[in-house]
Amino acid sequence: MFMKYCLAAITAAALAGCASNSGIIPIGKDTYMVSRQAATGFSGSGTLKAEAFQEAAAYCAGQSKSLQVVNTQEAQPPFVLGNYPKAEVQFMCLTDGDTELGRPKLKRAPNVSVEVK
């Protein structure tokens, strides 16, 4: 019985260690990306997205700038075989009065791709 509990604890710790956070990654002038990925397919992407937004906002606040979201992406189900819930936020840190600072104009990613041969 003790071995079952130890095995369960080790498995849980290993799975928790597989969750990933990219940290803040620069992707252009004043433009950054942050992502979060769950360790399993059993958690939703809403919390991951919220955590990414919080990290982005804190990063911009640390620079005395305002957060401007550029784009968001989430992994799509089914969450199996390594396709675990993931949320990515692309954002800019802008000074007050910057002409690009305003309401985010997020657009849904197209769900159709066209291949030209």
For residue 29, is it within any domain? yes
For residue 115, is it within any domain? no
**Structural domain for 56, as ranges:** 19-94
Backbone angles phi, psi at 37, to 5 degrees: -135, 135
Sign, CA torsion 10/12/13/18: positive
Residue 35: CA count within 13 A, CB half-sphere: 18
Task: Kindly state the average pLDDT of the residues 6-14.
Answer: 45
**Candidate from 32-36, 43-47, 54-58 with smallest mean pLDDT:** 43-47
Strands 31-37 and 20-21: antiparallel
Res 37: pLDDT: 86
Number of domains forming the structure of the chain: 1
For residue 35, is it within any domain? yes
For residue 66, is it within any domain? yes
Q: How confident is the model at residue 111 (pLDDT cuts 50, 70, 90)?
A: low
Tens of pLDDT, residue by residue over 75-89, are 877 777 777 888 899
| Token pair listed for 47 | 């919390």
Does a cis peptide bond (omega within 30 degrees of 0) precede residue 78? yes
| Residue 28 bridge partners (DSSP) | 31
For the chain, give the percent of residues with pLDDT over 90: 32
Res 38: pLDDT: 84
Task: Tell me how far apart the alpha carbons of residues 117 and 95 are, in angstroms, rounded to a whole number.
Answer: 45
